Amino acid sequence: MSTLVSLTNVVKRYKRGKQSVEVLHGVNLAIEQGEFLALMGPSGSGKTTLLNLIAGLDQPTEGEVTVAGERIDQLSGGKLAKWRARHIGFVFQFYNLLPVLTAARNVEVPLLLTNLSSSQRKQNVRAVLELVGLADRATHKPSELSGGQQQRVSIARALVADPTLLVCDEPTGDLDRENAEEILKLLQMLNRDQGKTIIMVTHDPLAADHASRTLHVDKGRLVDSVRSAA
Amino acid sequence: MLIWAGLWRKKTRTILTMLSIVVAFLLFGLLQGINQSIKAGLGDSSNNRLWTTSRMSAINSMPISLMDRMRGVKGVLSVAHLSFFGGYFQDAKNAIPAFATDVETLAKVYPELNFTQAQIAAMQSTRPGALIGRPLAKEYGWKVGDKIPLGTSIWTTKDGSNNWAFDIVGVFDPSPQFENSPLGRAFWINYDYWDETRQFDNHRIHQFIVQIDNPSQATVISSAIDKLFENSPDETRSQPENVALQAQLKQFADIDFIANSIVGAVMFTLLFLTANTMMQSVRERIPELAVLKTLGFSGPMVSVLVLTESVMLCLFAAIAGLLLSSIAIKAVGSVIGAGTVPRIVIAYGLLIAVGLAIISGLPPALRAQRLNIVDALADR
């Protein structure tokens, strides 16, 4: 397997008022193509910051971030946005669907940045909604869907442009155990059957059990790496 | 899709804002439409006509005999006269634009009134005859053969009555540019009959209309006419018709100033209203805009979305407002003196709407462009 994500001596500092707070202290990390990686750690440990850097939502203060062969720490705002559209599918804890759009329209949004025709977009949307088991809910608005269904729509939106990397920030954090289990199985299926590389931030050890590797982050450093049998 | 969705995210607010813009542009269309129609009407006034009134004031009368001397001035082709009857129908609030004249000479200086030879002949053969404009006939449902009683608080008949009666002998169809003017709607009566029947001010008229051969000589001919009566008891004041109309209008009100002031104030208020709506809308959608950026929309793309939303909001509402003002002006055109909202007003209206949208949409659009994804998603 080839390395898809590589972080070298990554430092991230935030300015909070007059103070500068270092959140990540020289992190080195390599993630292989096709891996399902869980990032665990207590609140404020820096796991979401790490995820944001890998997803190109934020830039490191120092160090190198290479994803899919591109030094994304060197990309400017516009280029980084284009890069995200091509390579990253993002799943949020609170789904973050656009409330006025139907499930199908929400899933279609990333495709608006492509050159696909309207009919091609609709075809792709239908396929991905079927994949997440929500084809019959295509015309429903988010408020008409359960939490689990909304997260499935969010996953469909993340998948529709066929990204290189699926980035999930506590995707089960707002769900009950049953729905959480369904979402995790869906992610597992996407990793196993579709070969998607997935990075998932979670607090939940049971969720992390579904990943092929779990990394523990504490006080801005990687402290432990466990390979799972899953 | 995204713009439309953003626009209707809060339906009630969008509808209320749109209604405000619709009302503002309805007002804009009405006021500027009337203003421009009046200006256009004045512009249409043929410069080959001069109006000569008493130097004292337009309502002071002058001897009709001055007409013969005016005809001798170089460049004068024809001279007609008119006098204000100032009548009303049944009730004083139903004012009728009635004028006493000699229709044959009037027809020469005002060919736009389209008097037919038969109508002129009918007036000449019917002393208490009246020739009325089609718009006035339509308004009161009058037709040829009707005897119309007109009251007046000024002119008493020789038998001491203020009640006059005239027989309608013709209904004339003025040219379109005269349809809404007082002359095109007028109730024309025979000067000779009126002058012989009234008790006082006989052989005097209120205004001469002088047709000249060369509009570029209007000022020279005006001076020559006024010079004829200089230092006499009946000094005159002559000026080109459109200049006289503008002066009359300004005596009543400076429509231009009033229209521009009201529209300016309304648009200024609207700017704040729209800007506030857009700011509020963007503030509420910060997490959604951050999601769009996460999905790969660039800062400029998100700002264009917000700006386009603002343009659509203003433009749709402005189009509706201008359309309503066109309908309203058409409906009440004859009363307010305008037929349509001129195209130039519509073009200006749409330009103002786009300008308003850009000015009010720019601050929230820039805010959206500068939005930091991580901070926005963390609700910081």
Q: Quick check: B296 and A90 CB within 8 A?
A: no
E strand or H helix that includes residue A40: strand A36-40
pLDDT confidence of residue B339? 62
Instruction: Judge whether A81 is closer than 8 Å to chain B, CB to CB.
Output: yes
Minimum Cα–Cα distance from B376: chain A residue? A57
Pick from A82, A90, A113: which is nearest to B294 by CB?
Answer: A90
Q: Quick check: B295 and A90 CB within 8 A?
A: yes
Backbone dihedral angles phi then psi of residue A14, each to the nearest 5 degrees: -115, 145
Alpha carbon distance B280, B285 (integer Å): 9
pLDDT confidence of residue B342? 76
Query: Which one of B3, B295, B369 makes the best mutation probe of the A interface by having the most chain A beta carbons within 10 Å?
Result: B295
Query: What does pLDDT average to over chain A?
Result: 89
Q: Which residue bears the tokens 């801005």? A: A220
Minimum Cα–Cα distance from A93: chain B residue? B377
Q: Residue B118: count other Cβ atoms within 10 Å of its Cβ.
A: 10
Backbone dihedral angles phi then psi of residue A134, each to the nearest 5 degrees: -125, 25
Q: Residue A17: count other Cβ atoms within 10 Å of its Cβ.
A: 6
Tokens found for residue B173: 């169809």
Minimum Cα–Cα distance from B297: chain A residue? A81
Instruction: Judge whether A84 is closer than 8 Å to chain B, CB to CB.
Output: yes
pTM, full prediction: 0.66
Q: For A157-175, what is each residue's pLDDT tens digit?
A: 998 988 989 999 988 888 8
Q: Quick check: B295 and A110 CB within 8 A?
A: yes
Chain centre to alpha carbon of residue A73: 18
Instruction: Judge whether A82 is closer than 8 Å to chain B, CB to CB.
Output: yes
Q: Which residue bears the tokens 């008409």? A: A144
The DSSP secondary-structure symbol of A47 reads H
How many residue contacts between A and B have a Cβ separation below 8 Å? 63
Q: For A44-84, what is each residue's pLDDT tens digit?
A: 888 889 999 999 999 999 999 999 888 999 998 889 999 99
Instruction: Spell out which residues of chain A touch residue B297, defining contact as CB-CB under 8 Å.
Output: 81, 85, 113
Residue A111, min C-alpha distance to chain B (Å)? 10
Q: Residue A8: count other Cβ atoms within 10 Å of its Cβ.
A: 16
Residue A207, min C-alpha distance to chain B (Å)? 22
Q: For A107-143, what is each residue's pLDDT tens digit?
A: 999 999 998 999 999 999 999 898 888 889 999 999 9
Alpha carbon distance A79, B258 (integer Å): 53
Choose the weakest-confidence range: A7-11, A33-37, B12-16, B226-230: B12-16
Per-residue pLDDT tens, chain B, 380 aa: give them. 777 877 777 888 888 888 988 988 888 888 887 776 666 555 555 568 999 999 888 788 999 999 999 999 999 999 999 999 988 999 988 889 999 999 999 999 999 899 999 999 999 999 999 999 998 999 899 999 999 999 988 899 988 898 999 999 999 999 887 877 788 889 999 999 999 999 999 999 999 999 999 888 888 999 999 999 999 999 999 998 878 777 766 666 667 777 788 888 888 888 888 888 888 888 888 888 888 999 999 989 999 998 998 898 889 999 999 999 888 887 766 555 556 777 888 888 899 889 988 988 888 889 888 888 888 887 66
